[in-house]
Structure 1
């Protein structure tokens, strides 16, 4: 097993993860993909909850775990014990970054908060993901990604008018927070190097803020015009045509010809050049006002054709369009394989595990998947004896006392 990405842009960066579930582990997965040495701390005998999430589990692993914990080194440590806290601090003294997603105050109670850690390592960067941030009225509240999606405004505008807002389908709130956390971590590391800084800093990411930050012009239009965005289903109000359409062979395609030039191409492609002279459709504003009528006309045409025929014609005329994929469709698409976006990784316990590839793709210092999510405590000996230089006797004593 290869234990480092010697070409990754984050090679040499050591990251300590106090994470569970999705947000913090996804953040560190990104760092690990690009060469950082990520040491993930788990509760002895229990591990991260993601180990048990998914359709099936095999031993102490799920496919989700295999993906989320790839490229990481997993150790066990009881942080509730004084000895465990002592070992954690020794690890922090050798780290560049600490990542956590516990409720604010939890690590402080264990003497592992940012103020404690920077006394040990003044250059330490600490990325913290929580429901509502480390400060403010709600900082002490528990919060998952679903709550962040709801309070960040995303759930309210998701779905169709008059219906209960559905879940997006993935844990998008956690993933957004992880991406902002990763960006913040990289910026903090860059600032240290670029500006020759002698101290680290704290990165505070709130789940609801990560969601709110991508809500486009929602808050601006509310303050400016009193407009509250509502659920609109599959359309983009006032921007047409851009919608999902049923095809003759029972599939769904999306066609997005929502600019004047693209609409000209679409009208020509489907044999309706007269639309270009029709005052209801011949400019962006008019199409927005007559959106329902236009979408219905396009829908009628699409329904007379098979999905691939529609897509081929759109490609021919340069109109953005695509199929609505499930995972089977994705697995059969050659473009995913051309771009190495589906990678087969051999796991010693699960066999071959397929997982998403690396994003983004760097030309000189690319990311790499070296191994899948490890077993519980798989790297205890490596980290405790090699990095912390514990003796075999010390290691056995810690194990016997439930510290490791």
Structure 2
């Protein structure tokens, strides 16, 4: 196994160094945004409930006292325990907001307002703060108060109706897609707010809805319906209307993904599979013509792939310069040298069930910046690991912290 990694940047580097972020969210969406900002140098203070912390700490636990999902989603963050429902907790939050450039939250709409911590209050306290709000349905509209998690958003946003195969129940991707995409939009919104602040000296309120994050990915789904009355449905492993773009079974029971939908690539692909007649067929010279003959084209590729093992099929496709690849498992990803060469595998020590630390592979940082890249400085910390440090920094001494701890505020 190739364990080569990219050069590590300076410990305190990153284009967002000096930016202070207060993360009040939990689960995936807001923490995803906080993770990305922290990877690129922002100081991210994550507020968690005393004693229990973010529920993500206990999600997807495969042995061990803390979820590895937590270790990924909260890397580079400072964990502070604070009860935002208590008066003293809100007073501490006031000082944290005063010192923050960005505040992230993904509570149900109205929750922060009930606690007296809404964005209007934040902006009165700190006119330059960028408040990023993530929720199921957004901060307005008739569904505003409905509870909404990622899976629900994928349904109402139109994605689930496109997944799986016809006449079978809709399926989901095995990751928290809606939450993660919403987190990405939250980062974009936060950065745009910071850019605007440079120009106007005023902050911004960013409203990200999970269902809208998913809906934004559906391309021409609604325009096709509105213009032509077409209601797209599930299409299995194919990309509807883009031909050929499908997954084909090889002789050894594996699968190869082939994307041969450009006009010139299609011709090379057909010559590779021994169908010069299809390569020269004027009916198939463009995508519109190929879409009308999808089954014939897929059958030709499928017959060719079915006579070869995966390695043989990939070798042929690459020799013909046709975009293609295997379907990887986690084991395949770990073994692939390209991931290592690109710094997409990082080894970090993790203590599991109180045992001796062991090296575990975690995903690297995306995107890659040439001059001031992001990095993993530490994995998701233990609950309250930075409470003393952060509260000391806002003038709360050891005696006061001890009293707050006894009262359950921190």
Which TM-score band (shorter chain)? Answer: over 0.9
- The one of 328, 333, 339 aligned to 1:330: 333
Q: Give the equivalent residue in structure 1 for 2:142.
A: 137
Q: Give the equivalent residue in structure 2 for 1:93.
A: 98
Q: Distance in 2 between matches of 1:347 and 1:10?
A: 27
Q: Give the equivalent residue in structure 2 for 1:392.
A: 398
Please give the per-residue CA displacement for 1:30-73, whole angstroms capped at 9, x wherever unaligned: 000000000000000001111111142523x2111110110000
Q: Give the equivalent residue in structure 2 for 1:377.
A: 384
- The one of 26, 42, 46 aligned to 2:52: 46
Q: Distance in 2 between matches of 1:115 and 1:238?
A: 47
Q: Give the equivalent residue in structure 1 for 2:7.
A: none
Aligned-pair distance for 1:7?
A: 1.9
Q: Does 1:153 align with 2:158?
A: yes
- The one of 217, 225, 230 aligned to 1:227: 230
Q: Kindly indicate whether the alpha-carbon contact (under 8 Å) linking 1:42 and 1:48 is maintained by their aligned counterparts in 2.
A: yes
Q: Give the equivalent residue in structure 1 for 2:3.
A: none
Q: Does 1:26 align with 2:29?
A: no
Aligned-pair distance for 1:274?
A: 2.2
Q: Distance in 2 between matches of 1:351 and 1:393?
A: 37
Q: Distance in 2 between matches of 1:78 and 1:117?
A: 18
Q: What aligned pairs does 1:64-83 form with structure 2 within 5 A after superposition?
A: 64-83=69-88
Cα RMSD (Å) of the superposition?
1.5
Change (3 A) 1:269 1:211: same
Q: Distance in 1 between matches of 2:235 and 2:183?
A: 28
Q: Give the equivalent residue in structure 2 for 1:212.
A: 215
Q: Kindly indicate whether the alpha-carbon contact (under 8 Å) linking 2:268 and 2:279 is maintained by their aligned counterparts in 1.
A: no
Query: Aligned with 1:88: secondary structure?
Result: helix
- The one of 245, 248, 254 aligned to 1:245: 248
TM-score (norm 1): 0.96
- The one of 110, 123, 127 aligned to 2:115: 110
Q: Does 1:35 align with 2:41?
A: yes
Aligned-pair distance for 1:311?
A: 0.7
Q: Give the equivalent residue in structure 2 for 1:352.
A: 359
Q: Kindly indicate whether the alpha-carbon contact (under 8 Å) linking 1:16 and 1:99 is maintained by their aligned counterparts in 2.
A: yes
Q: Give the equivalent residue in structure 2 for 1:62.
A: 67
Change (3 A) 1:55 1:348: closer
Query: Aligned with 2:230: secondary structure?
Result: coil
Q: Kindly indicate whether the alpha-carbon contact (under 8 Å) linking 1:5 and 1:367 is maintained by their aligned counterparts in 2.
A: no
Q: Does 1:203 align with 2:238?
A: no
Change (3 A) 1:198 1:238: closer
- The one of 277, 292, 295 aligned to 1:292: 295
